[in-house]
Structure 1
Amino acid sequence: MTAAPSPPAFPRLGHTPMLAWNLLAYFQHVARTQGDVIRLVAGDVELYLLTHPRDIEFAHVQTGRLFDKGLRGDPVLDPLLGHGLLTSEGDFWRRQRRLAQPAFHRARIENYAATIVTLAARTRQAWRDGEVRDVHDDVMRLTLGVVTKTLFGAEPGSTATRTISAGLDTVLSEYDHFVHGLPRFVPPLGRRLFARIDGAIADLNHAIEDVIRERRQEDRDEGDLLSMLLAARDDDGCPMSAEQLLDEVKTLILAGHETTANTLSWAFFLLATHPSAESRLHAELDEVLGTEAASLAALPRLPYLSAVIKETLRLYPPAWTVRRVTREPWEVGGYALPAEARVVMSQYVTHRDPRFWEEPDAFHPERWLAPDFERSLPRYAYFPFGGGPRVCIGQAFAQMEAALLLATLASGFRLRLAAPVRPGPSITLRPRGGLRMRVHARRY
């Protein structure tokens, strides 16, 4: 069986310079010129990029049998998330998933809708007609407020929330340097980078441990996600350990605010650059909501809002790659992959594949309104929340939150770009350098 194709590379450095220069563009380029399976070499690391939904589905469905998640050993994610749901494997992951699942039952998360709308309204009230703001910073603070309030009852602006915000901001911004190879090629700067990351994680841990300790002492159900996690018991009656509870809370904070904030940022960017889509969204919001606040009950009557979010997740998926590691040799598309091969699947790439999408790089929310459109897609041509047994546990919460936040903010304002924007692929796909926009109050 033949080896997977590999594009031209530099001696010793492999494909590192191309990946560091523009990783997203290079992934797209090799996907469209090299086929469904591409072998890439970054320094001493060998990667296999899979681009066809057929192979992506197999890797997702067989995770836990033929594939491991492949996040253990990451020098940033390991200390940040420990053995949380995002990074753990095997029987340990299955136990934690069972313990955490009740916290995400639909009836439970729907109770948070009013909190989400209230916090979004506060952000909207802080905006002033004609001012230029870093909207990404605004929605990052907003979604962190949502997750800390719904997770453990902390108010936005509290000491715990401020410490968590500062810690996560340091880790995520410094991770960009790690992704682009700084520790490998500039050791002194790399050591300082990891010292900053370690310090930020320590501060983050202390703040969350204080909240958990207080909640254990109170020993009452506050109606939030932490209460559910504290009450969870395994089949043998055992609760989560203090260390495991810390790891799960950190995982939920990262996954629950960073990804939704990025979805909102990219939605505002796309609406600002597509005025007709923005006008259609505003018309729908005006017709359905009028001067009323957004609500969970109104969401089924806002199909274009849902389409805008789905199309945003297609073009700028916050989780822009999925990693796996093969447990044994595997044949894919006629090519051989060895055991312990690092496999990468990119939502950003497959969501823009012209074989599965008409005008793949264009923002067309209305495509999602066509009858049977979603059912006509190949499975895993669209997978913003992953899939298989490791599908995102917070998918329903994230979709509800994004819809309520966008409806609340867009009802009051239209936004226009005040500075160029480009995506920054790191742990998530965020607008690099922020999102400077001028906010204009709507008159309706």
Structure 2
Amino acid sequence: MNLILVESSLKSKQVNLALGALGIQEEFTCGFTMGRVFDFKVGDPSLKWSPRNSDVYQYLSTQIQRSDNVIAMTDADEQGEYIAYQLQTIANQYGRSLVKADLSELSPLGIKTALSKVRPINLDVVAQAHTERLLNLKVANYGINQGIGPTSIHKLMVASHLMDTPTLNVATFLDDESSVKALTYNTSLKSAESELVEVPTKPPSTLNIYQNVAIHYDTPVCDIANNLQDLYQSGKLSYGRVTENYWYPSAENSVEDTLSELCVAIDMERFAALTERNQAHSAIYVVDHRSVYSKHSEIEMVTEFTKSALGLSDKKTYLADAGGPILSTEELVQPGLKRSSPDIQILQSLNELGLYKPSTSPTLCSSLSSAFYINSQLNKEALKFQFSITKRLFPSLLEHIEMRQNPITQQVNHKVDGTELTITNNMANTLFDNLTMSR
């Protein structure tokens, strides 16, 4: 029996239903990991990972031991790759082979496509995730040992960025019979308008959906991320944590069905121009065409981006001096300039600093908003405190802040030793030593 492992029980149920629909339930079965299998603990000086849940670890060990082969069908991002690597360490104990499969959609077609394109684990991505996890643990522990409590690279860098960056605003303009919005650092509507440009609409990435739903529907970014994940796991949207702005060619049927549901014909030549098979993942698209009537703001935004990208809508995307392209709306709103919400500001900071990730940034937006804002007003004392920590404990981090560079972006070295995958702590140790070194 081939064992497929996904992160959640809901996804496992969906995959098993799809296996039955494909008639291959006798060859494959699906279980779940409940997220990461191993993790580090803040305050533990040993810096060794251990099972997060002993019952889950025992369950996975038993299932893997009983299987012939293991397929890690975890999310197609750095955390999904990291979980696959952790599963590989268990599989190695029992002499079982493990491969990685990437899902674009939770449907029989998505499962079939994923199983046809299994691959080895990407150790560079694993090493990057491992290094970031361990480095932030070391930074948190160092803060505790210095008597200031746990902190993180993201918290320190965003605090400095917010201190040195103007307030991010949402500008609203009227254009014929539509309202145009854009993110801007300008303090006057006239100045913002001078930098406003129309840009071609592309299939939506996760960042596009975060920014557009947050601006048009006044929804917290963390809620948008949770909704995207729920809609993906329920088979309504494709995988919702992507950086790409092009569809996979295999998205054609879903896009065509969605447009047919809306009584619009797809332009195949234009669709082909917006597809790319040689990329990590597909831009987001509606999988269940009936869900276009479900009143989910995330589905509505994906649908509107899809129509606009294919030239089937009067809505267009605009860009000013900050943020990503914002889709126009037919709702006429009074022109003006208003301060963006704290989490949109922090999302922008993470993106400008090279720290943005579709999977982890929403949670950071929520936690850092609470840390740095009081009633939507910037807490300058909190920023100054974090900046003082950076100067005193992590002086070399200031160079990365000035360059707007993630300190973990350099190439991470990994080592493969026979059948045992070994991701070392060396890079995290080196980076930590560099960050605490005087400039």
Q: Which protein is richer in helix relative to its size? A: 1
Normalised by the shorter chain, which TM-score bucket? under 0.3
TM-score (norm 1): 0.24
Q: Identify which of structures 1 and 2 has the higher relative contact order when contacts are C-alpha pairs closer than 8 Å and 6+ apart.
A: 1
Greater radius of gyration (CA): 2
